[in-house]
Amino acid sequence: MTKTLTVLGLESSCDDTAAAVVRHREGEAPEILSSVVAGQTALHADFGGVVPEIAARAHTEKLDLCVEEALSEAGLGLDELDAIAVTAGPGLIGGVLAGVMLAKGLAAGAGLPLIGVNHLAGHALTPRLTDEATFPYLMLLVSGGHCQFLLVKGTDDFTRLGGTIDDAPGEAFDKTAKLLALPQPGGPSVEAEARNGDPRRFALPRPLLDRPGCDMSFSGLKTALLRERDKLLERDGGLHVQDRADLCASFQAAVSDVLAEKSRRALAEYMTLSPVRPIFAVAGGVSANMTIRSALDTVSAEFGATFLAPPLKLCTDNAAMIAWGGIEAFRAGRRDDMTLQARPRWPLDQSAQPMLGSGKKGAKA
C-alpha cells in the first residue's frame, strides 16, 4: 500500500489541548501540515498542579476550536482526510473522554475511520515522525506523568526495560518548584534557576543506583530536597536566592545522574540486539531539559548510538504524534469502532509485570 495518508490527530489526556494534521506518503518523510497546542498552565496556576476537573472542562470547550484551527492551517477540509486519530488513554479520564467523544462525533459525521491511539505510543513513535527511525530503537520516555525505558521493536511492539517505581521526574521538577516558590511548570523554572547554582553544594540521593536493572525512584529525592530547604529556612527565616539556585542545580544534577546511569544499563541491554543503526531516543517534557539532554547524549555516544531528541514542541504533549500514531496503526490495518473506550490506564507493554497501580483499575505502568 503506497497510498498517501492524511490523518487528523487529537490529544487531551493531560493539560494540553491539541489537534494536528499529518500527511505521509510511504517511502517519504512524514509531513506535519499543522500542529496546534493550547496549553492550560494559567488555569491550574493557583493550585500547584493539574486539577483534573478543570482540565476536563477546558478540553471540552477548546478541542473543537483547535481542530478547526489545525484544519485551516493545513488548508484541508475533513473530507480530505483519511482517518481521525485520538488519544484513547492513558491519562486524566475526563480529558481523554472529551477527546474520544469529539473524535467519534467527527468520524461519524464525516464518515471517516476512527483510530484510538495510546498516548505513550504517540511519544514512543515520535522518532519515526521526526527522523524516520528504524526498529528496533531504545526510547526513554520521561515526562510529568511517566518515566520508562522502552525497546521499540514495531509500531505495536514495545518491551519495557524499566521505569519509575514512584514519581515521574517531571512531577519532581514541579514539586521542587513549588517547594522553592518558583513558577509552574517546574521544568523550565528549575532549569533556569539551576544555571546560577552549584550542582555539588547539596548531596542529594541517587536512588536505586546500587541496584541492578533500569528501575528508578524519584520520590526520595523530593523529600531530601525538602529537608535541605527546611534547614535553610530554619537558619535564615527564608530562602536566599543563591541557596535556591544551588538547590535547583543539585536537584537537577541528581535527576540527570540517575537518568544517565540507568540509560547506560538500558543501552547495554539494547545493544545485545545488535541493531544495524543503533538509536537512543528521548521524548516527554523532561527531555527538554538541556542538562539532562546532554548527559543522555554523552551516554549514547559511549555506545556508538545515534541520540535523537525531537524538537521541543514534539517532545511535550502534542497531537502530531497522535496523528502519526494513527497513520502507523492505519497502515497496520487497525480501526476502531464507535464503542472505542477511553482508558485512564493503558500500559504499552502488556506482558510486563505491573510496576505502578493494580487492582480493579489495572496497571498504570
Partner 1 sequence: MRTDPRIIAFDTSAAHCAAAVLVGDAIVAERRESMARGQAERLMPFLEEVLAEAGFGWRDLDALAVGVGPGNFTGIRIAVSAARGLALALGVPAFGVSTLEAQAEGIARPCLSLVDARRGMSYAQVLGAQDGPPVIVDDTAGLHPDLPRAPIADPATLTPTMARIAAARLATGAALARPAPLYVRAADAAPPRDPAPVILP
Which set of grid coordinates corresponds to residue 321?
504524534
x/- map, 316-345, partner 1, by CB under 8 A: ----------------------xxxxx---
98 binds partner 1 per the rule CB under 8 A: yes
C-beta separation of 140 from 152 below 8 A? no
For residue 236, the minimal CB distance to partner 1 (Å) is 6
Please give the size of the binding site for partner 1, defined by CB under 8 A: 51
CA distances from 147 to 247, 289, 365 (A): 23, 14, 9
Strands 4-11, 83-89: pairing kind = parallel
Decide whether 26 or 68 has the Cβ nearer to partner 1.
Answer: 68
Rounded-to-integer distance, Cα 224 and Cα 270, Å = 32
311 binds partner 1 per the rule CB under 8 A: no
3-state secondary structure 19-51: EEEEEEECCCCCEEEEEEEEECHHHHHHHCCCC
For residue 238, the minimal CB distance to partner 1 (Å) is 4
78 binds partner 1 per the rule CB under 8 A: yes
x/- map, 104-133, partner 1, by CB under 8 A: xxxxxxxx----------------------
Residues 37-66 binding partner 1 (CB under 8 A) are 46-49, 51, 53-54, 56-57, 60-61, 63-64
* Binds partner 1 (CB under 8 A): choice among 32, 100, 141, 321: 100
Which set of grid coordinates corresponds to residue 167?
514519581
C-beta separation of 139 from 270 below 8 A? no
CA distances from 229 to 3, 178, 180, 205, 251 (A): 58, 12, 8, 15, 12
Residues in contact with partner 1 by the rule CB under 8 A? 46-49, 51, 53-54, 56-57, 60-61, 63-64, 67-68, 78, 93-94, 97-111, 178-181, 229, 233, 236-241, 244, 338-342
